[in-house]
């Protein structure tokens, strides 16, 4: 009897584990397809205001952020693209409050013409979830199209379809 129970104790958890999958299986017209549940992330949204979206080179921009949603982050990390100076700390310590929503302010200064990004990564240390947000700052007075990076050349093939020829990137 003991020899019979031991394999049952091992087999039951294995059978239970095989029934759990991370992707949900869907049967569409005889084909099997899977739908991924996606990455876990915080249920938080960010509202922000920018003193000026389009500035001159060297002009300081004041940014105010406010986090809303089901979860409140405990802190937020700030990162900027190259040629942009962040004034102050690279981390915002956020107070977890039940009632009022506090706005958090910081400043940046673009040092060259172009499109610059400030990345705000909201993080809750207790649940180890992160969610990134981006804020765009345009330095200079040229049209936005002139600042965009061109990745390839646009051509038309024999059938009239447009094709973008992209250069290969070696690493």
In this structure, what CATH number is given to the domain that contains residue 52? 2.60.40.10
Q: Are strands 114-124 and 129-139 parallel, antiparallel or unpaired?
A: antiparallel
Give yes or no for a contact between 83 and 112, defined as CB atoms under 8 angstroms apart.
Answer: yes
Give the structural domain span for 127.
44-142
94 lies in a domain? yes
Tell me the mean pLDDT in the region 95-113: 77
User: For residue 37, is pLDDT > 70?
Assistant: no
Predicted local confidence at residue 19, as pLDDT = 43
The 10s digit of each residue's pLDDT in 113-132 is 999 999 999 887 676 778 88
The 10s digit of each residue's pLDDT in 83-100 is 999 998 888 887 655 555
165 lies in a domain? no
User: For residue 68, is pLDDT > 70?
Assistant: yes
User: For residue 10, is pLDDT > 80?
Assistant: no
54 lies in a domain? yes
> How many structural domains compose the chain?
1
Q: Indicate the Cα dihedral angle 140, 145, 149, 152, nearest 10°.
A: -160
> Considering only 16-30, 31-45, 56-70, 134-148, which range has the smallest mean pLDDT?
16-30
13 lies in a domain? no
Give yes or no for a contact between 37 and 25, defined as CB atoms under 8 angstroms apart.
Answer: no
157 lies in a domain? no
Predicted local confidence at residue 22, as pLDDT = 43
The 10s digit of each residue's pLDDT in 128-151 is 778 889 999 999 988 888 888 777
14 lies in a domain? no
The encoded tokens of residue 68 equal 């809303």
Distances (CA, A) of 44 to 27, 79, 87, 107, 141: 33, 19, 25, 23, 34
Predicted local confidence at residue 128, as pLDDT = 73
């Amino acid at each position: 009897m003991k020899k019979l129970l031991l394999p049952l104790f091992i087999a039951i958890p294995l059978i239970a584990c095989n029934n759990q999958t991370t992707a949900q299986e869907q049967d569409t017209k005889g084909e099997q397809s899977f739908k991924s549940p996606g990455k876990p992330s915080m249920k938080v949204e960010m509202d922000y205001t920018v003193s000026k979206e389009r500035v001159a080179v060297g002009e300081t921009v004041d940014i105010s952020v406010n986090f809303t949603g089901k979860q409140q982050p405990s802190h937020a990390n700030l990162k900027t693209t190259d040629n942009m100076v962040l004034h102050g700390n690279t981390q915002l310590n956020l107070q977890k409050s039940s009632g009022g929503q506090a706005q958090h302010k910081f400043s940046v200064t673009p040092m060259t013409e172009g499109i610059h990004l400030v990345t705000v990564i909201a993080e809750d240390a207790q649940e180890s979830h992160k969610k990134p947000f981006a804020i765009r700052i345009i330095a200079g007075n040229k049209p936005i199209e002139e600042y965009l990076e061109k990745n390839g050349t646009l051509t038309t093939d024999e059938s009239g379809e447009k094709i973008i020829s992209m250069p290969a990137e070696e690493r």
